[in-house]
Amino acid sequence: MPDSGEVEACIALRPNAVVPQPDLEQSPFGFLFCPFAEQGKHQKLFLKADLHYNAASGILSAAPETPAAVVKAFRAAMEAEPENNWHISAPAAQHVYQQEKCFTGAVVKAIEAIRAGEMEKVVLSRDIGEQLPAGFSPVAALEAMEQEYPRAFVSLVSIPGVGTWMGASPEILVSVNEEKVFHTVALAGTQPAAAGESVATAIWRQKEIEEQAMVERYVLKSFKALRMRDYTEVGPRTIIAGNLMHLRTDFRVDLKEVDFPTLASDMLQLLHPTSAVCGLPKDPALQFILENEGFDRSYYSGFLGPVNSTSGTHLYVNLRCMELLEEKAILFAGAGITAESNPQKEWLETQHKMQTMRRILAQF
Ligand SMILES: C=C(O[C@@H]1C=C(C(=O)O)C=C[C@H]1O)C(=O)O
């Protein structure tokens, strides 16, 4: 978790449970891992925390129904020499990564569609394969991410038949903390953060201000759909995420004072995929992405995080992430396209975002 410095592990002992519609309030303690698109071949998965490990305290705890023998066997396995047997997704047919020309071509097409009034904003992304360096280890990479990005939600997820993903996300989708405070953000607008630059001196162009405002309007529209008026709104403020700066507005609802027990599940359903990763309006933007991006986003720009842990439910957007294969990593990044976009600059922005994971690979 951001600013916690603690590593926690959630281990499910049974096959992956598919959850068509996450019910955050009724769910047992576990970890959600969900893809970008509903209609694709990837499923929303829930890893029930049959076992939970806190690396800081060294305590391995088990859900009441987990058999004692299983806990014992797991503890023994943990103490044994670690094996690098991470789950790798089924190898796809020869995959062609998007060249700059294809990406900027899609951006040009998106700008035309926006100018023609078909939509206001669309987020276009791309993926790239990188050779895994010799000596790469997912656990060491997790520790490196934690050191490098202490303010991010840092994760490593490995699921049989699905694959292994890791990332350092700057973006909360929905969360409810131990004090029962609901939190979501409108995050958008990107520029490089020069070393040592303070957020106080950041200057934003109209394009980024408007792009973030669109995400903000989208969050407000979702609150309105639920007739929720008792939220606080702070921002937009400049935040630093690794090598980048973004604009972020924070929205909070104190559920101790407002009687809305299903707010997190309801907002999750309305928000995902937000206009920070899809676009506005949602339907034409999603259609444009599926028709023009030219690759399968899979779990990139989906969401993930712990549900009903002792510190609450904290779902993040799966950004600044990579999927690990046998010998390579697939890195993902996108950029918000509006009428004012410049195709080359958007390409550069995806390069900057991929730096987050490249810096980790470079440590091996
Ligand atoms: C799409 C990504 O990031 C999102 C898009 C942003 C933008 O367009 O400026 C900024 C932050 C994220 O909400 C990504 O990191 O791949």
Structure tokens at 295: 């690759």
Q: Which residue reads 């950041």 in tokens?
A: 202
Residue 41 burial by Cβ neighbours in a 10 Å radius (0-12, 13-18, 19+): exposed
d(CA 250, CA 55) in angstroms, rounded, equals 30
Class of the 8-361 domain? alpha beta
Lowest-confidence region among 62-66, 230-234, 248-252? 62-66
Residue 336 CB less than 6 A away from ligand 1: yes
Residue 335 CB less than 6 A away from ligand 1: yes
Residue 195's pLDDT is: 74
How many angstroms does the Cα of residue 149 sit away from the middle of ligand 1? 16
How many angstroms does the Cα of residue 50 sit away from the middle of ligand 1? 34
Residue 189 CB less than 6 A away from ligand 1: yes
- The complex's ipTM works out to 0.98
d(CA 105, CA 348) in angstroms, rounded, equals 14
Residue 2 burial by Cβ neighbours in a 10 Å radius (0-12, 13-18, 19+): middle
pLDDT digits (tens, 9 = 90+) for 54-98: 988 989 999 999 999 989 988 888 888 766 678 888 766 667 788
d(CA 299, CA 35) in angstroms, rounded, equals 4
Which atom in ligand 1 lies closest to the alpha carbon of residue 319?
Answer: 15
Structure tokens at 283: 């339907």
The domain ranges of the chain are 8-361
Residue 334 CB less than 6 A away from ligand 1: yes
Three-state secondary structure call for residue 179: coil
Which atom in ligand 1 lies closest to the alpha carbon of residue 189?
Answer: 9
pLDDT digits (tens, 9 = 90+) for 89-137: 876 666 778 889 999 999 999 999 999 999 999 999 999 999 999 999 9
Residue 244 CB less than 6 A away from ligand 1: no
DSSP for residue 199: G
Whether the predicted pLDDT of 298 surpasses 90: yes
Contacts of 9 (CB under 8 A, 6+ apart): 51, 52, 53, 55
Beta-bridge partner residues of 33: 45, 304
How many angstroms does the Cα of residue 360 sit away from the middle of ligand 1? 19
Residue nearest to atom 2 of ligand 1 (CA): 334
Residue 352 CB less than 6 A away from ligand 1: no
pTM for the whole thing? Answer: 0.96
Residue 173 CB less than 6 A away from ligand 1: no
What are the distances in angstroms from CA 292 to CA 73, 105, 126, 279? Answer: 49, 9, 11, 14
Residue nearest to atom 1 of ligand 1 (CA): 334
Q: Where are the beta strands (DSSP E) in the chain?
A: 8-11, 17-18, 30-34, 45-48, 51-54, 59-62, 121-131, 153-159, 163-169, 172-177, 181-192, 232-241, 244-254, 279-280, 303-307, 312-317, 321-324, 328-337
How many angstroms does the Cα of residue 331 sit away from the middle of ligand 1? 14
The larger pLDDT score, comparing residue 197 to residue 10, is at 10
Residue 218's pLDDT is: 94
